[in-house]
Structure 1
């Protein structure tokens, strides 16, 4: 069937359609589960781990177990994925991760959460998301790219086995899959103990599954295409910049996985918000100062490009294939977020509802 679709519509169109379907699943599931790394870090930094941490853990371990399980049965090979095959930057993962973590606290959401909130009518998220996208593009190929490259080259690791956590730990796929399955069960039990509704836990599991489906779909297409197809999964900073640039500069847009993913997430989140009656306009006000969101957007835009991805792209997609720099990046995102939240909590005038 996949061969027929590629013959009929072409590789690019099929990749775009795959991104759209994965995006619909991710957007709807993330909206219903209230999936949000920022909220999870806030709970932990306040010493009150609860529902939002449970949702994030379920999503993360669902991605890990399904990706590794797919690799185990021979339906996926991620050795050529950028996060493993290309030269990685440890300095970028550390510095970029810390910046991204601080930024998502200031902006009250990571890049994926901002996209989901934008679909519900949150104007703050739309403006902040645009700032993230513009700064990310500047860091990728614009005025900020020399600084990004300088910081990224401070400490690099070669691609291949050196960049794999599994190689470092001497762990095989079967053992990792079992450990991930047990961790997922623990996360689900933890969620129920904190009275997270079953529907939200199921949706969180689907968030992780969307990451796995992204890897599997792009891998399957790459195996039968005559073109060189990048094996990839859910990530938002790069695709968001591509989508924006395509809208404002490109007369002829070449379809891609990312160009399907972003509108897919938006549509999935919008439909969920409409069904649940949660769509409403939200603006900046005295309790939501614009300057805080703008600074957060700048930090996330630059930080994500330096770290090699956002909280989902590096933290979940990269983490699920055990890329060393991805694990370092998401750890530093946690650290940066917790430090920033504690700093803000010590200044009552800066504290908002979380």
Structure 2
């Protein structure tokens, strides 16, 4: 795809932001219609069921892995310079950050991408949680929480593509990624059929995975056609949420890029999907106790996502699709911590006072 015409019309940064906007809109539509959410999938699985929520997540994940690996095998993209492989990776950050993010998404009743999607459908609880998530992420990368993040990230690091590539670490050939992706697709089809997944569940979940692969493709095209250096990346929401927040708070004229277009795009896509399906409705908090829970969860997700180098989508799906070691460790930690948090916070016997003030679901 020749992007020269877009460069002439919008400039290289503008083209990058426009691509992020378009991919974000598609992601927002697909995620809203399929109810894609890692937190929902983990809780369903932790409570002994592999139903629609798990099926949706597995379809999205398997589609992202298979399509990305297929493009790698066909030399359509090259992710060797992506941040998952181009710098030292923090294993401690992946494990601790992933665990904190998993705890946070259970407390906040949604992962980062889900909060953004729900915000666009009129959910004020998700909107507030999402804003606090973005503030915590910014504080973790540039603010008061940055020293703690750097200290935890530096506890255990590894460097070099051989160490950061999960396939190479396991002694597998690059072609094994495509085979594993195909196996995930087969498993996803099996669980989706068994769960009786509806049409939008299939299309939306597969679309979510396809947008991740498309993000890799678009940013790679930018990197080889733009005059200025461009980073090869795909979908993630921790850093972009912080960047988008800061772009709103800073004077006009600040630089734009793929991430700045991504977050508004997801919001627009989810809002359009909700309006089309007549699902847009205002929702708020019911009591201070639940509000404290959501705020605590959002802070943990913001800090944990920055420490781990990605959110449930950024590490769990985007990083997982290229078999980045840190991403798979993060995803494992998210699943384990979220399942344990659900057990302790929401499933163990509660006092009568806690039951009276139990937080409402999104």
Q: TM class by shorter-chain length?
A: over 0.9
Q: Is the 8 A contact 2:140 2:149 kept in 1?
A: yes
Measure, in 1, the Cα distance between the counterparts of 2:115 and 2:349.
Answer: 25
Query: What residue is the counterpart of 1:295 in the other structure?
Result: 296
**Deviations 1:51-71 (Å, cap 9, x if unpaired)?**
100100000010000000011
* Counterpart Cα distance in 2 of 1:150 and 1:89: 11
Return 174-183 or 139-148, whichever deviates more. Answer: 174-183
Match of 1:132 in 2: 133
Deviation at 1:84? 1.2
Contact 2:286-2:360 at 8 Å conserved across structures: no
Alignment of 1:7-18 (within 5 A): 7-18=8-19
Aligned residue pairs: how many?
A: 354
Could you list the runs of 4 or more consecutive aligned residues of structure 1 that deviate by over 6 angstroms after TM superposition? none
For the 8 Å contact 2:290–2:360, the answer to whether it is kept is no
| Whole-Å separation in 2 of the counterparts to 1:126 and 1:183 | 33
Structure 2 unaligned blocks of 5 or more: none
Deviations 1:150-180 (A, max 9, x none): 0000000114221000101222232321221
| Partner SS state of residue 289, structure 1 | helix
Structure 2 Cα separation of the partners of residues 10 and 288 of structure 1: 48
Secondary structure of the structure 2 residue equivalent to 1:10: helix
Deviation (angstroms), 1:249: 1.6
Match of 2:203 in 1: 202
Q: Contact 2:167–2:176 (CA<8 Å) still a contact in 1?
A: no
2:77 match: 76
C-alpha distance in 2 between matches for 1:232 and 1:260: 14
* Alpha-carbon shift at residue 10 of structure 1 (Å): 1.5
What does 1:230-269 align with in structure 2 at a 5 Å threshold?
230-269=231-270
Contact 1:80 1:231 in 2 (8 A): yes
Are 1:271 and 2:267 an aligned pair?
Answer: no
Find the aligned partners of 2:89 and 2:116 in 1 and give their Cα distance: 27
Matches within 5 A, 1:192-231: 192-231=193-232
Once the two structures are TM-superposed, the CA of residue 288 in structure 1 deviates from its matched residue by: 7.0
Gaps of 5+ in 1: none
Secondary structure, aligned partner of 1:265: helix
CA deviations on 1:310-341 (whole Å, 9 max, x unpaired) are 00011111111111001000110001100100
Mapping 1:50-89, distance limit 5 Å: 50-89=51-90
Q: Secondary structure at the match of 1:55?
A: helix
CA deviation profile, 1:124-149 (whole Å, cap 9, x unmatched): 00000111111111110111100000
Aligned equivalent of 2:40: 39
Q: Could you say what secondary structure the match of 2:28 adopts?
A: helix
Deviation at 1:221, TM superposition (A): 1.0
RMSD: 1.4
Instruction: Please tell me whether the aligned partners of residues 287 and 352 of structure 1 are also in contact (alpha carbons under 8 angstroms).
Output: no
Provide the TM-score with structure 2 as the length reference.
0.95
Match of 1:155 in 2: 156
Q: Is the 2:132–2:299 Cα contact (8 Å) retained in structure 1? A: yes
Q: Tell me if structure 1 keeps the 8 A contact 2:90–2:153.
A: yes
CA distance in 1: counterparts of 2:60 and 2:130, whole angstroms: 23
CA distance in 2, matches of 1:142, 1:250: 19
Question: Which residue pairs with 1:346 in the alignment?
Answer: 348
Give the conservation status (yes or no) of the 8 Å contact 1:62–1:205. Answer: yes
Please say if residues 177 and 323 of structure 2, whose CA atoms lie closer than 8 Å, have aligned partners that are also in contact.
Answer: no
1:271 Cα deviation (Å)?
0.5
Aligned to 1:317: 318
* Alpha-carbon separation, structure 2, partners of 1:288 and 1:63: 38
Deviations along 1:200-244, one digit per CA (max 9) or x if unpaired, are: 111100100000000000001110111110001000011111111
SS of equivalent to 1:60: helix
Indicate conservation of the 8 Å contact 2:30/2:204, yes or no. yes
Q: Decide whether the 8 Å contact of 1:120 with 1:279 is kept in 2.
A: yes
Change beyond 3 A, Cα 1:48–1:288: farther
Q: How does 1:98-109 map to 2 (within 5 A)?
A: 98-109=99-110
What is the alpha-carbon distance in structure 1 between the residues aligned to residue 202 and residue 257 of structure 2? 31
Moved more, 189-198 or 64-73: 189-198
Partners of 2:317 and 2:272 lie apart in 1 by 24
Post-superposition offset of 1:352: 5.0
Q: Please say if residues 37 and 110 of structure 2, whose CA atoms lie closer than 8 Å, have aligned partners that are also in contact.
A: yes
